[in-house]
Amino acid sequence: MSKLLKFIAIFLLLTLNFFYCSSSSDKVKEEDKTSVENTEKVEAPTEEKSSYENIDSGTGATEEVAERDSTAETETLESQPPTEATEGKPSSDGMASTEDMSKSEKTEGETIYGTLDEEKLNNINEKIQDLRYPDGKMVKGFKYKDTKLPNKNDFARWIKTSGKVIKEGFDMLPSNYALEVTGHADSSGPEQEDGNKKGNLFYSEERAKSVKRELVRMKIPEDRIITRGIGSSSPVAGVDERDVSNRRVTFKFIQK
């Protein structure tokens, strides 16, 4: 009986010991689990702190963000269209550009000079409006159906006097003005070519050319002399249309 009691007592002790050990082990595991969770909670702020440290030092993700922002800003600036000032357009205040002002001044200057030239032209043409060759002092006019100078000595005399006014016109007027030499004829014969008759227009034109050749020979620029023939359409006032004095050459300055 005593042995049985000892055995039961030992069995109870072992059972109690077993439960005690199991309880201790579960408690240790729970404490370990709690410890691990606490450790994770503690480490989380450390990582966040590390992230802020990267921001403060300008490294890590902050550098990438800054680089992306810088690139985006550069692309935005490059993609913006140039302003009106950059393109050199006139401002909106209505002021004229330098080029427009220059054109305006040039036009005004041309108008002034053009007016002065017209005044000179009128003055010189008034002086030569009655000028003609032959002048009737030694030779009355060109021979009938003849286009050569009637008398070269007479032309030399004429150019010494009347030629001064012509030379004055060339000196006064710019190169875009020319001397128009007009040949005339009397009313004898047809105006136009008729069979073997050359006509008054032909003879009057050739007479103007003969005078031009003499003027060029006297050093007057050829490109500033224009010739034309008008036949018998403008006779001398107060004389018969068939008179020899109608076979002449007259002069006038014109703009080319």
**Is 92 within a domain?**
no
Q: Are residues 121 and 242 in the same domain?
A: yes
Q: Are residues 147 and 229 in the same domain?
A: yes
As for how many domains the chain has, the answer is: 2
* Gap between the terminal Cα atoms of the chain: 163
How far is Cα of residue 5 from the mean position of the Cα atoms in its chain? 129
pLDDT at 57: 43
Q: Are residues 177 and 51 in the same domain?
A: no
pLDDT at 235: 96
pLDDT at 65: 42
- Look up the domain containing 149 and give its range: 114-255
Q: Are residues 45 and 120 in the same domain?
A: no
Q: Are residues 58 and 148 in the same domain?
A: no
**Is 109 within a domain?**
no
- C-alpha distances (whole Å) from 190 to each of 3, 210, 232, 236 are 184, 22, 9, 18
CATH number for the domain that contains residue 138: 3.30.1330.60
Over its length of 256 residues, how does the chain's per-residue pLDDT go in tens digits? Answer: 566 777 777 777 777 666 655 555 555 455 555 554 554 544 444 444 443 344 344 444 444 444 555 555 555 545 555 554 444 444 444 444 555 555 555 454 444 556 778 999 999 999 999 999 999 888 999 999 999 999 888 999 999 988 889 999 999 999 999 999 999 999 999 999 999 999 999 999 999 999 999 999 988 999 999 999 999 999 999 999 999 999 999 999 999 8
pLDDT at 61: 43
Structure tokens at 226: 């224009």
